[in-house]
Amino acid sequence: MPRQPIVLLFALFGAVSCALADVRRGRSSLLAAGLSAGCLAALAFRTGSPVGTVACSVVLLASLVAVVAAGPWLDAAPLGPLAALAAMGLYLRGTTALGGTGELLVLVGAAVAALCLADREPDDGQVGATTLGLGLLALGLASGTGRIPFWRWGFDPAVLALSALAAGVAGFFSSRGGERRDLAAALAVAVALLASSGSLAELLLLFFVTAVLYVLNAPRRTRAALGALGATLALVLLALTMFPDRIIDWLEAPSDVYGAGFDLSVLSDVLRGARPLGDGVPDVATLATPDFSTLYTLGQAVSAFGWAGLALPALVVASVIAAFLRALPSLGPAERNLALALLATFAASAAGNALYVFHLAPVPAIPFPLLSSSASATISFVLAGVELSRVVGSGACREVQGAAA
């Protein structure tokens, strides 16, 4: 069987998963995502990628098990689109030999743990999430290398802690009294640790989450929005002052194809040579860039799946945002803040990555959620995606039950 029909089936099942998630057919959406992952497993087998075959087969199996065993929250949860995007990312990891079977086990363990935690009773776990984030940052600091050693790998503590710290920010806006002071102190320590380790991307994402929640929780949102805009401008001016070389390199990139613009030139060649459906094999040229591991996975997706490799990630992000907006009226204040914090992290990461890849903004190395070749980013967004789906799905279920009553 030719590869293009398999790619077409993968894209169609992924699009169907997004459409079903938007109309609150969570289990059907996850089933379609599992079939999309199954197509990628077959494609990986055809391209001679055993790691990709196993990884996508695991997503298929996990989707089928979750459809049967997950709680009522899954009925209206946007987990299907996230599963399709995760399968796409794991396929690219396996095909480009960036992952291994041992590392895959770590990712599978994170996904299973996330699904088990998602079936718990809803509670306020933001204090625990903040503690987890601080613990991960402390482990990276204690290692002396800025990484968390695990077997043969080193995980990035800032990336791992990002979703947990975003949940901590949500807890700060949802709590009062002593708990709020404790969270403020813990988050201040986390910001100091991120700054000392040079984790600029994570700092910016955390700042964005805080600004969004600050505006939406303020009694006078217009005044709060103006304050957030002023703080953003101050941050931009600070970045221009502290990192002028980066800004200059970014401005020179379009005309400097052998220096600062090498990455952009390679990506432009990949986009110009992309076919409508690709053939399932990423262009090896995208592996020659120094930033491919976090930034140019979109380029690999386009070279492997054609324009579907760019359209499906955008559709997934839009689908998750739409599912959140539809469930928003049914969410309580604490649930709304938590879901919004996780969604803001997810959407801002996707937007930041796309802005950098297409040379629209000189933002730091922000990975695309679930599509990055970074195991740390994949684990972080798997946990965040399942929790976001649980909160949105639980709220939507209560709305349906209330209407039926």
Share of the chain above pLDDT 90, in %: 18
Question: What would the two tokens of residue 35 be?
Answer: 């079939």
Is the pLDDT at 122 greater than 50? The verdict is no
Number of domains the chain is built from: 1
The mean per-residue pLDDT over the stretch 344-350 comes to 93
111 vs 135 pLDDT, higher one: 135
Mean pLDDT for 47-69 is: 85
Q: Which residue, among 284, 303, 298, 339, has the nearest Cα to 73 in the 3D structure? A: 339
* Comparison of pLDDT for 304 and 290, the residue scoring more: 304
Average predicted confidence (pLDDT) for the chain: 81
Q: Supply angle C-alpha 333, 336, 342, rounded to 5.
A: 145
Phi and psi of 148, rounded to 5°?
Answer: -100, 110
Please tell me the distance from the alpha carbon of residue 402 to that of residue 405, in angstroms, as a whole number.
5
Secondary structure (H, E, C), 100-165: CHHHHHHHHHHHHHHHHHHCCCCCCCHHHHHHHHHHHHHHHHHHCCCCEEECCEEECHHHHHHHHH
State the pLDDT at residue 49.
Answer: 81
pTM passes above 0.85 = yes
What gap in Å lies between CA 281 and CA 309, rounded to an integer? 12
**DSSP result, 85-110:** HHHHHHHHHHHTT---HHHHHHHHHH
Is 107 a residue whose pLDDT tops 50?
A: yes
Give the domain range for residue 11. 3-404
Count CB atoms within 10 A of the CB of residue 72. 16
DSSP 265-283: HHHHHHHHT--SS--S---
Name which residue leads in pLDDT, 119 or 186.
186
- Residues 355-367: what's their mean pLDDT? 82
CA dist 99 and 90 (Å) reads 8
> pLDDT tens across 123-182, in order?
455 667 777 787 888 888 777 777 777 766 778 888 888 988 998 899 898 888 878 888
Q: Is 316 a residue whose pLDDT tops 90?
A: yes
pLDDT at 273 over 80: no
| Residue 317 scores a pLDDT above 70 | yes
Confidence band of 345 (pLDDT split at 50, 70, 90): very high
Output the pLDDT for position 344: 93
Structure token pair of residue 195: 């700054």
Answer whether residue 42 shows pLDDT above 50. yes
